[in-house]
Structure 1
Amino acid sequence: MTTSEPSPRQARQALRWVIRCSAGPLPDRQQRALQRWLQADPRHALAWRRQQAFWDGLDAAGPEVLAALPALTSDRQGLRPIAPRRRLSWWWASVAAVVLAVPALPGVALWARSDLRSGDAPRVVQLEDGSTIVLDARTALAVAFDGDQRQLRLLRGQAWFRVAHEARPFRVEAGGGLVRDIGTAFSVSLQDAVVTAQVSEGVVDVHPGDGSLQRLHAGQARAFRDGRWLQPVSSLASDAVAPWRRGEVAIDDLSAAQAIERLARYRAAPVWVLGTKAEQIRVSGLFHLRQPDPAISAVAAQAGLRVQRLPGGALVVW
């Protein structure tokens, strides 16, 4: 007689047992409960064997990776969870069960507040005043135009603006600060609560929120966080502003975890980085956003990390 496939619920139960066992020997009472569960249905034992084979690969990476597994439910990188398909394999059912265990409510609320959004690729938008915005992947903007002003709020990600000249001021709020156009093309990014303004043409005024002001000219950039400047004004080539508009991602001395997070925004399925090793190793490079998977693999190779692809396209890096 052929054993039928485990249900998503049974796969989820098996996943929980495997994770418990991976943390060390079970107490006698839990060990007896596990044996009763395994014997209650042939599908339980099948689900257990399959889950065990999968997690053995992660177990080789060490206890700190297993300790990081709860982060798989947190939407930590701002990426959407994968939606389960109608016919789930046992493997995909269990992964989907973990991913969907905690709804990404903050992300839903953020997208609900935004007027302009992008998916896993940059998007060009023409505003009603004739201004052009290029949104990087995973970017959200709120827009409020009236008869007196043109106000935008960067909620997440980064955007490049070419502003149409008219009497109403053009302002971009981000991270509690403000970037005001003086007649220019510029970019604003919001990454890990750090706001960076870069100017490719003209002039902007940057207010970090503490009452101070920095005027930036073409080829200049400055960053702030929580109302405080992080560094002096820096210089860059005008064509280095928002390189993602040309399909490039420049990584300059970031941790491997940060680099992978930036590259992951250009793929539909999520990427999870487990353990602390990726936080400790610095990487640099210029990558093509149209090929995010080879770029992620290249960063992982630089940092001595492993990459495992899950059903549905998700990646686990450790």
Structure 2
Amino acid sequence: MTREASHSCDNLRHPEPELLAEEAATWFLRMREPQVADQERQRFQHWLSASERHRREYASFEKLWGVLDGMSRPCPRKKRITRSVVGIVAAIALAFICSITTVDQLQITKIGETRQLVLSDGSVIELDAVTALRIEYTLWQRRITLERGQALFKVAPGLRPFEVKAGTGTLRDIGTTFNVLEDQGLVTVSVKEGAVEISLDSLSKKSLLTGGQQAGYRAGEIYAAKAINPEAVEAWLGNRWIFENVSLGEVVRQINRQHERQISLADTSLGNYRVTGVFDRTDRVGLLKALGVILPIRAEETPDGTRLRQR
């Protein structure tokens, strides 16, 4: 699609009508495939009979297809098609294309920066600091690739699967709100509500997380799920960190994503200390003081940043 067409697509977003049009368009194209499984036809009939609006929207695409198909054939009476008619049909076709063609966007945040994205289907993504993700919406799926950092997903329902690719695994949403953190190859998935299916590229085994559960994975291994406070999943949106037995190394990386003045460890073994507590993300000084109280460490200020040493 040209840049001009992509720009026009941005101006054609109307959440609820667009979602219905997208569903109708998806079913219309699926039913035109040479081979359609009986189960798929049954799902289509169920969708079609669920609402009069569904039937009207589907009929509009049948009519549109007939118009476009008719324009591609020679006209028996050789009538000229006026530019206005062509323009109207082109506009309708553009609206149709905008709802189903590929959207490819890269979103990046800096240190201390957060951002909210509202996607065309109504899904919401909250980006934490130092995060990079790619949005790929196609006719058949909604796919997000989390390249680094942390993001919270509130997924709108739809016919197309919603998947998040992070590290060496893929997360398939089953109507939910969930958080994903990628930290040096370790991906942690926390579910507030609904369910998320985790599958690794190298394993046939899958793991299902439901509301109030958290699990992590690396290449070749999915760690056992554990219970968490569902409210802790999106605590960072309110500038709070809720750490439960988290390594000091991870805590330091979290702080460094929020504050320009970086923290380092004088000895890598210090990173194995465990931290539990609720902290204010905006208060760097308070964080360092709290860490010095709960752990046998001290902060040393240098021209380049802050260095944590054994006390």
TM over 0.5, yes or no? Answer: yes
> Do the aligned residues in 2 keep the contact of 1:256 with 1:303 (CA within 8 Å)?
no
- TM-score, normalised to structure 1, is 0.59
**How far is the alpha carbon of 1:179 from its aligned partner?**
0.5
Which structure 1 segments of 5+ residues have no match? 1-112
**How far is the alpha carbon of 1:277 from its aligned partner?**
5.2
The match for 1:315 among 301, 306, 310 is 306
> Do the aligned residues in 2 keep the contact of 1:264 with 1:292 (CA within 8 Å)?
no
Aligned ranges 1:17-36 → 2 under 5 Å: none
- Supply the distance in 2 between the matched residues of 1:203 and 1:260 (Cα, whole angstroms): 30
> Do the aligned residues in 2 keep the contact of 1:288 with 1:295 (CA within 8 Å)?
yes
1:278 equivalent in structure 2: 270
2:204 equivalent in structure 1: 211
- Supply the distance in 2 between the matched residues of 1:117 and 1:309 (Cα, whole angstroms): 30
> Do the aligned residues in 2 keep the contact of 1:144 with 1:152 (CA within 8 Å)?
yes
> Do the aligned residues in 1 keep the contact of 2:105 with 2:136 (CA within 8 Å)?
no
2:220 equivalent in structure 1: 227
Distance change >3 Å, CA 277–CA 216, structure 1 → 2: closer
Aligned ranges 1:130-149 → 2 under 5 Å: 130-149=122-141
2:146 equivalent in structure 1: 154
Does 2:298 match 1:306?
yes
Aligned positions, number: 204
Which structure 2 segments of 5+ residues have no match? 1-103
Distance change >3 Å, CA 243–CA 147, structure 1 → 2: same
- Supply the distance in 2 between the matched residues of 1:250 and 1:121 (Cα, whole angstroms): 19
**How far is the alpha carbon of 1:140 from its aligned partner?**
1.2
- Supply the distance in 1 between the matched residues of 2:265 and 2:165 (Cα, whole angstroms): 30
2:251 equivalent in structure 1: 259
**How far is the alpha carbon of 1:317 from its aligned partner?**
2.4
Cα-to-partner distance string for 1:134-172 (whole Å, 9 max, x where unaligned): 112221111111222111111111111011222221100
Q: Which amino acid aligns with 2:306?
A: L
Cα-to-partner distance string for 1:194-246 (whole Å, 9 max, x where unaligned): 11222212122111331111222222222211131122x22223212132122
Cα-to-partner distance string for 1:53-81 (whole Å, 9 max, x where unaligned): xxxxxxxxxxxxxxxxxxxxxxxxxxxxx
1:54 equivalent in structure 2: none
- TM-score, normalised to structure 2, is 0.60
Cα-to-partner distance string for 1:252-309 (whole Å, 9 max, x where unaligned): 2233333222222211232222224523533322111111232133213433323233
- Supply the distance in 1 between the matched residues of 2:142 and 2:226 (Cα, whole angstroms): 28
Name the structure, 1 or 2, with higher relative contact order (CA <8 Å, separation 6+). 1
**How far is the alpha carbon of 1:114 from its aligned partner?**
7.7
1:183 equivalent in structure 2: 175
Structure 1 runs of 4+ aligned residues shifted over 4 Å read none
Query: Cα RMSD between the aligned structures?
Result: 2.2
> Do the aligned residues in 1 keep the contact of 2:198 with 2:206 (CA within 8 Å)?
yes
